[in-house]
Amino acid sequence: MNTRRLWLAMVWLVAATHARSEEIRVPETAGFDAASVPAYAGQHTSVYAHIDENLDVHLSHLVRWVRQPSISAQNVGVREMARLLVGDLQNLGFSEVTLVESAGHPGVWGYYDANAEKTLVIYMMYDVQPVNPEDWRVPPFAGEVVDHALGKVLMARAATNQKGPERAFLNALASVIAVAGTLPVNLMVLAEGEEELGSPNFPEIVAGYAERLRTADGVFFPFNSQTPSGDVSLFLGVKGIVYFELEANGSSSGGPETAEIHGSYKAIADAPAWRLVQALASLTSIDGNVIEVPGYYDSIRAPSEEEVWVFNGGVASWEQREADIRKGFGIAEWIDGIAGRRSLATLTFGTTLNIDGIWGGYTGAGVKTILPHKATAKLDSRLVPDQTPTEALRLIRAHLDANGFTDIVLRKISGYPPAQTSVDAPLVRAALGVFNKHGTTPSLSVRIAGSAPYYVFTDLGLPLIAAGMGLGAGAHAPDEYMVIEPIAGSRVAGLAEVEKFYVDLLYALAAAR
């Protein structure tokens, strides 16, 4: 850390103690420049050639994977897909391959012993979202390669989320092993079949391998990171989340206990719907944008000096993109008219309290006059360091109780803390170097506004990135695809280059200091 950065960080820490979460201001100090990381210089010509020569076989592996449905929500083909993954890891020469039973769909553990100094963990998900085949251009589990504006694409459920990049990564391993006899790093594969269900059993699966995972150098999630223009975004963190329901009902709030009653009795009957509305309203400012729960912002730590550095390096990219994002959402202005570094700061460092859904009583057309016996809201709060789900819910419960809303039921649905990776981690440096080699310097963000349970790895002290060349779209939607062979002149990587990126990453990590 140079002296200038240290001094600026101290200024920031002082400023941060006065910052209210309503308006997060980040000091305009130097920004991290991902282009300053030296491009990875290694050339693995024989491996690249092996990939090119075997590309049809490699593509056939992707097709084989997407042809195996594995819809976790409907328990369709899930265990078959787990077994298919087990077989593929065994064929690659993994010395340990285990189906890990859990309370839900099984996980898969694999270990490849390369007798190497470094060890990389590969996080995989092998389950997929449900499909409505009638909405698709091709049968979603046929594994067809079709023409698309971006080139030839594999169009199928899981083509990009996540079987495409995952199996491409295994193809890269196959070519490395075929040419070099082994890998440059040891690998631990940990896969789950419940990602689309919110990973309810993955923490337990990870816990079973915690001691071995701690010895690794990082966690990698094969991911198609490119946009149609070829640009790459890379994030170093995710927010946590706590998802919960608030409910007012006749049993606790007064009013009818088991069923709606005639609305005219509102004159003398308590109404759960009003109680829910009043309880919800007590949680935020009148514009819905400041959380009025005492202490809710207290556990949010100021951005670290490194986070400020990365943040400032990402502002320009955000400024180029944010108007398009707003337009895509049909949003005229962000809250309070903020833009540029101010909106990025709030998006990056701010917690949230969001109503995902609310319902009660009659919601059809026209008139029905009832006093509903129950009203419910689903809420989520995105958590930034050092917020925790437990503390967030404790504060909300305490606030409700302090304001007389002891009748409001608070039901936790799920939750996990945020996760953060340092830009200085060898895995991150290696990835940036490889991206620079491939001519796609990423725009880097401290964290995305969304959530993922990466804490299961980062809490073990492991850096984690989801990265890769390649492009896909349609996750959770019809006509999901991954580009296999881009049109001429495109900066988007095809399957061969996606795999070569993975090859380079393994060697770059092995060489990292």
Separation between Cα atoms, residue 169 and residue 494, nearest integer Å: 13
Residue 233 is a binding residue for a second copy (CB under 8 A)? no
Q: Is 341 left (phi over 0), alpha (psi -120 to 50) or beta?
A: alpha
Residue type, 43: Q
Binding mask 178-207 for a second copy (x = CB under 8 A): --------------------x---------
Separation between Cα atoms, residue 231 and residue 324, nearest integer Å: 15
Q: Which is nearer to a second copy, 105 or 239 (CB)?
A: 239
Residue 151 is a binding residue for a second copy (CB under 8 A)? no
**DSSP bridge pairs for 376:** 247, 359
Using CB under 8 A, pick the residue from 69, 140, 237, 256 that binds a second copy: 256
Residue 294 is a binding residue for a second copy (CB under 8 A)? no
Using CB under 8 A, pick the residue from 3, 363, 461, 488 that binds a second copy: 363
299-to-9, 17, 283, 350 alpha-carbon distances in Å: 19, 11, 17, 12
Tokens encoding 310: 């990365």
**DSSP bridge pairs for 247:** 376, 409
Stretch that binds a second copy, among 42-50, 213-221, 254-262, 489-497 (CB under 8 A): 254-262
Contact at 8 Å (CB) between 96 and 111?
yes
Binding mask 24-43 for a second copy (x = CB under 8 A): --------------------
Q: How many residues bind a second copy (CB under 8 A)?
A: 82
Tokens encoding 132: 């409505």
Stretch that binds a second copy, among 149-157, 170-178, 227-235, 350-358 (CB under 8 A): 350-358
Residue 303 is a binding residue for a second copy (CB under 8 A)? no
Separation between Cα atoms, residue 68 and residue 212, nearest integer Å: 31
Stretch that binds a second copy, among 59-67, 93-101, 160-168, 258-266 (CB under 8 A): 258-266
Residue 340 is a binding residue for a second copy (CB under 8 A)? no
Q: Which is nearer to a second copy, 117 or 333 (CB)?
A: 333
Using CB under 8 A, pick the residue from 5, 25, 61, 266 that binds a second copy: 266
Binding mask 460-489 for a second copy (x = CB under 8 A): ------------------------------
Separation between Cα atoms, residue 207 and residue 389, nearest integer Å: 19
Residue 314 is a binding residue for a second copy (CB under 8 A)? no
Contacts of residue 483, defined as CB under 8 A and 6 or more positions apart, other chains included, come to: 148, 150, 151, 152, 153, 470, 471, 472, 492, 493, 494, 495
Residue 440 is a binding residue for a second copy (CB under 8 A)? no
Q: Which is nearer to a second copy, 108 or 419 (CB)?
A: 419
Residue 404 is a binding residue for a second copy (CB under 8 A)? yes
Tokens encoding 259: 């069923």
Residue 393 is a binding residue for a second copy (CB under 8 A)? no
Contact at 8 Å (CB) between 276 and 246?
yes
Which parts of 368-387 interact with a second copy (CB under 8 A)? 368-373, 375-376, 378, 380, 382
Residue 239 is a binding residue for a second copy (CB under 8 A)? yes
Q: Which is nearer to a second copy, 43 or 264 (CB)?
A: 264
Query: What are the strands of the beta sheet with 409-416, ordered from one edge?
Result: 374-383, 240-249, 409-416
